[in-house]
């Protein structure tokens, strides 16, 4: 498995490298990969390269985005849908999507839950980048998470104190350890990625070069729903898009 030959997006370099290391060290549990909020499919293609024996389910609410999913790797299944904590459909409106529970699949794109849509599929890794709706997606995926115990990644804006605290509190309720990646994950300076590991699997990560280096260099810090707002790091806070050292 030539993980280090995989092309990665030019943004969120720290996050991408940590996840790459976790795949290369076989720290990701068995099962397929869910990339929801897949946008143009760039991250889905990266995940498909990380392990060609896993299917990547790339999901985005925009049919136009899904049409642009192109990847040299064939282990990708792309679909237009919106995951939430309830079932219905969404209608395309000017300025974005809105959803209407009463339409019941008669709209442009279905709105459903991970638990409902992916019956019979085992996930080892779940990447959630859904613009502030991560908690709703998790609420609709509890049965899947409890059965498969995947590694989960989510995004949140730490300036949104209530939403971020509720998200991390919910993950701890699912018995996950939460680590913040000290890197801006979007255009807003408050955006952070979080890597979430099942508590019962933490022994598997002991001795991991990826985890040791990330934690000792202060790129990765374990947080809870309180400490996330005042964690400290000696590492530089890299922007969403930073050149690597090889470009200088």
The pLDDT assigned to 145 comes to: 98
For residues 88-124, b (16+ Cβ closer than 10 Å) or e, as one string?
bbbeeeeeeeebeeeeeeebebbbbbbbebbeeeebb
The pLDDT assigned to 7 comes to: 84
Rounded to whole angstroms, the Cα distance separating 227 from 117 reads 35
- More confident of the two residues 208 and 5: 208
The pLDDT assigned to 6 comes to: 84
Supply the DSSP symbol for 29: P
Given a cut of 90, whether residue 224 has pLDDT beyond it is yes
The pLDDT assigned to 186 comes to: 86
Given a cut of 80, whether residue 107 has pLDDT beyond it is no
DSSP structure string for 185-247: -SSSTTEEEEEEEEGGGGGGGTT-HHHHHHHHTTSEEEE-TTGGGT---SS--B-SS---GGG
Q: How confident is the model at residue 126 (pLDDT cuts 50, 70, 90)?
A: very high
Rounded to whole angstroms, the Cα distance separating 135 from 169 reads 10
Rounded to whole angstroms, the Cα distance separating 172 from 90 reads 30
The segment with the largest mean pLDDT, out of 5-14, 58-67, 87-96, 176-185, is 176-185
Q: What confidence tens digit (pLDDT) does each residue in 148-183 have?
A: 999 999 999 999 999 999 999 999 999 999 999 999
The pLDDT assigned to 89 comes to: 73
Q: Which CATH fold would you assign to the domain 3-225+243-247?
A: Rossmann fold (3.40.50)
Q: Name the residue ranges covered by the structural domains of the chain.
A: 3-225+243-247
The pLDDT assigned to 110 comes to: 87
In terms of Cα–Cα distance, which of 192, 86, 92, 193 is closest to 136?
A: 86
The pLDDT assigned to 240 comes to: 81
Side-chain-facing half-sphere of 148: CA atoms under 13 Å = 26
Least confident of 13-22, 99-108, 145-154, 197-206: 99-108
Handedness of CA 26, 153, 196, 235 (dihedral sign): positive
Strand partners for 56: 33, 76
Tell me which H or E stretch contains 1.
none
Supply the DSSP symbol for 175: T
The mean per-residue pLDDT over the stretch 206-230 comes to 96
The pLDDT assigned to 221 comes to: 97
Rounded to whole angstroms, the Cα distance separating 10 from 46 reads 11
């Amino acid at each position: 498995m030539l993980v280090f030959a995989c092309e990665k997006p030019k943004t969120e370099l720290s996050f991408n490298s940590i996840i790459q290391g976790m795949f290369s060290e076989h720290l990701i549990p068995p099962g397929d990969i869910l990339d929801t909020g897949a946008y143009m499919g760039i991250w889905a293609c990266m995940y498909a390269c990380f392990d060609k024996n896993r299917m990547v389910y790339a999901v985005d609410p925009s049919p136009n985005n899904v049409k642009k999913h192109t990847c040299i790797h064939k282990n990708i299944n792309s679909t237009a849908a919106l995951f939430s904590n309830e079932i219905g459909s969404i209608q395309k409106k000017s300025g974005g999507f809105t959803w209407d529970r009463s339409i019941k699949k008669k709209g442009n794109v279905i709105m459903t839950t991970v638990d409902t849509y992916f019956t019979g599929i085992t996930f080892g890794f779940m990447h959630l980048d859904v613009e502030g709706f991560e908690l709703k997606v998790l609420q609709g995926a509890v049965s899947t998470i409890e059965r498969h115990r995947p590694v989960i990644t989510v995004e949140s804006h730490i300036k949104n104190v209530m939403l971020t605290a509720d998200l991390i509190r919910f993950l701890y309720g699912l018995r996950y350890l939460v680590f913040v990646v000290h890197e801006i994950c979007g255009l807003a300076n408050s955006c952070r990625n979080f890597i979430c590991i099942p508590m019962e699997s933490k022994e598997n990560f002991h001795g991991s070069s990826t985890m040791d280096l990330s934690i000792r260099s202060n790129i990765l810090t374990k947080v809870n729903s309180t400490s996330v707002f005042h964690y400290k790091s000696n590492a530089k806070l890299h922007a969403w898009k930073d050149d690597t050292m090889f470009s200088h």
